[in-house]
Amino acid sequence: MSTNFYWLGARASAEDISMHIGILFAAGAYCWDCNQTFCMDGEDKVHVNNSEWHDACPKCGGEGGFTSSFCCAQSPEVVSTKCRLRPSELLVADEYGKKSTGKEFLDMLTESCAIQFTDSIGKLFC
């Protein structure tokens, strides 16, 4: 399942690229200690259906956990700066209506999204 994120006050539409922050996707098994996906084809292929996966971390052999990826619609630096300047203000809403402060949003990205894709910055996508 994926979740779109928007600057608060924006209508839930990826058609307005100035308000669309990006999309969070489940990205499978990941070793947070080694910063390593279990996907044999690498991070770029975590969302490809025919990718094969290691049973354990290919670096340390550990069990790992799970991660998400974030496909950026805006520059991570711009988003990070805006959120850090207003950490306790509600700034972000997801497509389901859940609101987050700048700090909460950055914490979610740090704690849940080990993989970030930036090739869609400034493009319409959903």
Structural domain includes residue 123: no
Q: Is residue 15 part of a domain?
A: yes
**98 lies in a domain?**
yes
How does pLDDT run across 65-79, given as a tens digit for each residue?
Answer: 999 999 999 999 999
Average pLDDT value for residue range 90-112: 96
Does 126 fall in a domain? no
- pLDDT grade, residue 17 (50/70/90)? confident
Residue 14: inside a domain: yes
Q: What is the mean pLDDT of residues 30-49?
A: 95
Domain presence at residue 124 = no
Whether residue 125 lies inside any domain: the answer is no
Q: Does a structural domain hold residue 122?
A: no
Total of domains in the chain: 1
- Per-residue 3-state assignment (H helix, E strand, C coil) for the chain: CEEEEEECCCCCCCCCCCCEEEEEEEEEEEECCCCEECECCCHHHCCCCCCCECCCCCCCCCCCEEEEEEEECCCHHHHHHHHHHCCCCEEEEECCCCEEEHHHHHHHHHHHEEEEECCCCCCCCC
Boundaries of domain holding 38: 2-117
Give the span between the Cα atoms of 8 and 79, in whole angstroms: 13
Write down the pTM of the prediction: 0.87
Q: pLDDT band at 125, cuts 50/70/90?
A: low
Mean pLDDT of 86-109: 96
